[in-house]
């Protein structure tokens, strides 16, 4: 592979990959491995005989020769901590075990996203196995909003609930939890969101992101925390002789499919226990034992064995569609469904809602992009802030994500309803949006808001929009400029079309599952000619890339039409270009072929003769 150094040639992270200092998207390409990681890759090859490319991929993700055996075989047994390392776990598990033993009605209050649906179904499955009566409430995104609310708590108490358990929410629900206490309900909170120093008056709050929690498990999604809870409760019930031949203990490993789905869909880092959750959960999914998931995979036309891609891009969006534009409880109901006909009906309805959501999203993205371009936000401004009357609140997060991808800036999409708007924001690496949104609330520019570094939600008065834009510009201008200047694409290795074979991908799967925190390997096809270019669907492009030896590979550029990447492909058709992307197996007509998903491209360096 060809490389040339920039201003600091002493270490590989500061070296350009294939000499690319500016791609067509304005990014620097850098080798993912520094000198230390390169040494670890060589050590893995020598000590274990791993193929060089696999060793490079492992080393590029922080794996060392000492840790590669554990990394390549992530097991629940070796990575599962004692659940009691979490603050309040002993108290929470004891109260839930008491409710199960006494047959108390348990109310589960979940969030309306995939993590909330999986968390609710996970706890519901466990209670059902224990013979404990329970009810699940998933709030309506538009009419109830996020988290517990007083009216819902009153209804759950009226329906006979004696214990309230919030999952994927509740950490900041002061008033609803106080209302539950007045109605005689104990409240248990199981959550993973950032927590304030002062917490609500729940009986127990298990959240690895509490400020006083030192468990080191803050990377878990809510379902990952719920799984630790049921492990702890299951242990207590065993100790108390609750399970018998007539009432056997539940198979907790069979529930890992739900934890894997939530972990991927909530985009939490795939490290430590999370990797084990996903690896083992995918194995459970392969057996197709969960009725609802089986039907959802079928309606989504997800072929081949389940992979993180299926969960993140096919299954997750369909479960989310209920919470975005339909019945928010459909996802949790489907995941617990045991009736084949009803599961098929709900899966079909979620598929229909997802199609409706996609249509709404496309229209709203077009409006938001037009607004941003008209305001010149593609050229100027630290952030893209768009707002529209009548936009559907359920798609603004997706719209913000599309804007961020197109303009490579932190982006906001706000659905206005008269004088009030609700919106979502998505950020770029190096810009903490959650912090600036919380500061804007404290400074009186937002009615409410919060989130984390890469995503945030907010409520704003219409007459504050101009001030909010100015506020973001003042607070983030230098930060965004610095972040964009350091925006680099990390490359794992260079490959030729001839070398991109199915066996290579199967070998690299050992370093997976890939996702947030364990990024999919990025490869470059150096100086491959764009031999053919043709549209696919409404806004995708397909390329036939041909190497100097005549070998070819199909390259997909998703959502490239109307974007800089699509324009660059058209401008350089027939020319040799460096093509960077990820690889996947495409099965068609019984044949397996490797296909690249294009991320970026660059003009090869011209060499003097």
Domain borders along the chain are 3-27+492-602, 81-255, 375-485
Contacts of 503 (CB under 8 A, 6+ apart): none
Q: What is the largest CA-CA distance in the chain?
A: 85
Indicate the fold that domain 3-27+492-602 takes in CATH: OB fold (Dihydrolipoamide Acetyltransferase, E2P) (2.40.50)
pLDDT at 233 over 70: yes
User: Please, which pLDDT band fits residue 607 given cuts at 50, 70 and 90?
Assistant: low
- 109-131 burial, b if ≥16 CB within 10 A, otherwise e? bbbbbbbbbbbbbbbbbbbebbe
User: Please, which pLDDT band fits residue 132 given cuts at 50, 70 and 90?
Assistant: very high
Question: 347: closest CA among 291, 284, 302?
Answer: 291
Q: For the purposes of burial, counting CB atoms within 10 Å of the CB of 332, is it exposed (0-12), middle (13-18) or buried (19 or more)?
A: buried
* Proportion of the chain above pLDDT 90, given as a percent: 81
Q: Which CATH class is domain 375-485?
A: alpha beta
Q: Are 592 and 502 in contact (CB under 8 A)?
A: yes
Question: 51: closest CA among 492, 491, 508, 476?
Answer: 508
Rounded (10°) angle between helices 222-239 and 89-102? 60
Q: Are 522 and 551 in contact (CB under 8 A)?
A: no
User: Please, which pLDDT band fits residue 263 given cuts at 50, 70 and 90?
Assistant: very high
pLDDT tens for residues 22-62? 999 989 999 999 999 999 999 999 999 999 999 999 999 99
Mean pLDDT estimate for the chain = 92
pLDDT tens for residues 470-500? 999 999 999 999 888 788 999 999 999 999 9
Q: Kindly state the DSSP code that residue 162 receives in the 8-state scheme.
A: S
* Secondary structure (3-state) at 554: strand
Backbone angles phi, psi at 527, to 5 degrees: 50, 50
pLDDT at 12 over 50: no
* Residue 323, CA atoms < 13 Å, CB-side half-sphere: 28
Q: Are 256 and 306 in contact (CB under 8 A)?
A: no
* Secondary structure (3-state) at 136: strand
User: Please, which pLDDT band fits residue 605 given cuts at 50, 70 and 90?
Assistant: confident
pLDDT at 6 over 60: no
Pairing of strands 591-602, 552-557: parallel
Q: Which two tokens stand for residue 268?
A: 């939490």
Q: Which two tokens stand for residue 113?
A: 């996203």
Angle CA(61)–CA(64)–CA(69) in degrees, nearest 5?
100
Q: What is the pTM of this model?
A: 0.89
Rg (CA), the chain: 25
C-alpha 9/C-alpha 272 separation (Å) is: 33
Task: Give the pLDDT score at 264.
Answer: 95
Arithmetic mean of pLDDT, 327-338: 95
Q: Are 425 and 437 in contact (CB under 8 A)?
A: yes
Q: Are 364 and 391 in contact (CB under 8 A)?
A: yes
Q: Are 172 and 195 in contact (CB under 8 A)?
A: yes
Arithmetic mean of pLDDT, 9-22: 69
Q: Which two tokens stand for residue 226?
A: 């719920």
C-alpha 454/C-alpha 135 separation (Å) is: 33
Candidates 2.60.40.10, 3.40.640.10, 3.90.1640.30, 3.30.300.20; correct CATH number of 81-255? Answer: 3.90.1640.30
Element (H, E) at 534: strand 523-536
User: Please, which pLDDT band fits residue 311 given cuts at 50, 70 and 90?
Assistant: very high
pLDDT at 547 over 60: yes
Q: Which two tokens stand for residue 26?
A: 């304005």
Other beta carbons within 10 Å of 60:
24
Q: Which two tokens stand for residue 595?
A: 């296909």
pLDDT tens for residues 94-108? 999 999 999 999 999
User: Please, which pLDDT band fits residue 157 given cuts at 50, 70 and 90?
Assistant: very high
C-alpha 595/C-alpha 235 separation (Å) is: 47
Q: Are 170 and 206 in contact (CB under 8 A)?
A: no
Arithmetic mean of pLDDT, 330-352: 96
Pairing of strands 455-461, 448-451: antiparallel
C-alpha 257/C-alpha 290 separation (Å) is: 8
pLDDT at 10 over 70: no
Arithmetic mean of pLDDT, 422-428: 93
Task: Give the pLDDT score at 381.
Answer: 87
Arithmetic mean of pLDDT, 395-412: 92
Start-to-end Cα distance in the chain: 19
């Amino acid at each position: 592979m060809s490389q040339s150094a920039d201003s600091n040639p002493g270490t590989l992270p500061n070296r350009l990959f294939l000499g690319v200092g500016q791609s067509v998207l304005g990014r620097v390409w850098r080798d993912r491995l520094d000198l230390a990681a390169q040494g670890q890759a060589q050590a893995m090859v020598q000590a274990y005989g791993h193929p060089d490319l696999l060793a490079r991929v492992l080393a590029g993700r922080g794996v060392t020769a000492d840790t590669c055996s554990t990394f390549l075989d992530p097991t629940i047994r070796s990575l599962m901590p004692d659940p009691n390392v979490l603050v309040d776990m002993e108290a929470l598990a004891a109260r839930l075990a008491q409710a199960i033993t006494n047959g108390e009605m348990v109310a589960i209050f979940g969030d309306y996203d995939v993590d909330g649906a999986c968390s609710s179904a996970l706890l519901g499955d466990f209670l059902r196995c224990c013979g404990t009566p329970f009810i699940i409430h998933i709030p309506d995104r538009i009419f109830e909003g996020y988290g517990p609310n007083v009216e819902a708590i009153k209804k759950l108490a009226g329906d006979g609930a004696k214990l309230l358990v919030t999952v994927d929410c509740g950490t900041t629900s002061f008033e609803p939890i106080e209302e539950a206490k007045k109605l005689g309900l104990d409240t248990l909170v199981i959550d993973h969101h950032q927590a304030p120093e002062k917490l609500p008056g729940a009986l127990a709050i298990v959240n690895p992101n509490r400020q006083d929690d030192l468990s080191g498990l803050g990377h878990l999604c809510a379902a990952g925390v719920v799984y630790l809870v049921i492990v702890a409760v299951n242990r207590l019930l065993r100790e108390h002789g609750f399970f018998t031949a007539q009432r056997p203990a539940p198979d907790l490993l069979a529930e890992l499919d739900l934890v894997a789905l939530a972990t991927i869909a909530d985009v939490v880092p795939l490290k430590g226990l999370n990797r084990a959750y996903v690896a083992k959960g995918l194995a459970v999914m392969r057996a197709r034992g969960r009725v609802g998931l089986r039907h959802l995979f079928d309606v989504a036309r997800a072929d081949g064995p389940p992979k993180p891609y299926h969960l993140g891009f096919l299954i997750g969006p369909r479960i989310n569609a209920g919470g975005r534009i339909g019945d928010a409880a459909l996802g949790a109901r489907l995941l617990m469904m045991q009736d084949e006909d009803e599961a098929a009906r709900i899966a079909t309805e979620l598929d229909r809602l997802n199609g409706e959501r996609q249509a709404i999203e496309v229209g709203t993205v077009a409006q938001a992009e037009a607004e941003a371009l008209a305001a010149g936000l593609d050229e100027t401004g630290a952030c893209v802030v768009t707002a529209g009357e009548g936009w559907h609140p359920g798609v603004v997060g997706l719209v913000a994500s599309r804007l961020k991808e197109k303009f490579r800036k932190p982006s906001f999409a706000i659905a206005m309803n008269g004088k009030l708007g609700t919106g979502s924001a998505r950020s770029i690496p190096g810009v903490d949006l959650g912090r600036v949104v919380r500061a804007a609330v404290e400074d009186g520019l937002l009615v409410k808001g919060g989130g984390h570094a890469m995503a945030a939600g907010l409520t704003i008065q219409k007459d504050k929009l101009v001030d909010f834009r100015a506020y973001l510009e003042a607070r983030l201008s230098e930060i965004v400029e610095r972040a964009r200047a350091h925006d680099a694409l990390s490359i794992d290795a260079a490959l030729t079309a001839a070398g991109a074979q199915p066996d290579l991908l199967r070998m690299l799967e050992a370093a997976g599952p890939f996702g947030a925190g364990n990024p999919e390997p990025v490869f470059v096809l150096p100086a491959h000619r764009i031999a053919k270019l043709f549209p696919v669907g409404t806004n995708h492009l397909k390329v036939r890339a041909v190497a100097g030896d005549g070998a070819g590979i199909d390259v997909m550029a998703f959502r490239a039409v109307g974007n800089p990447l699509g324009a660059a492909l058209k401008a350089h058709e027939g020319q040799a270009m460096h093509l960077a992307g990820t690889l996947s197996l495409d099965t068609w007509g019984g044949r397996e072929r490797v296909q690249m998903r294009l991320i970026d491209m660059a003009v090869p360096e011209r060499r003097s003769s």
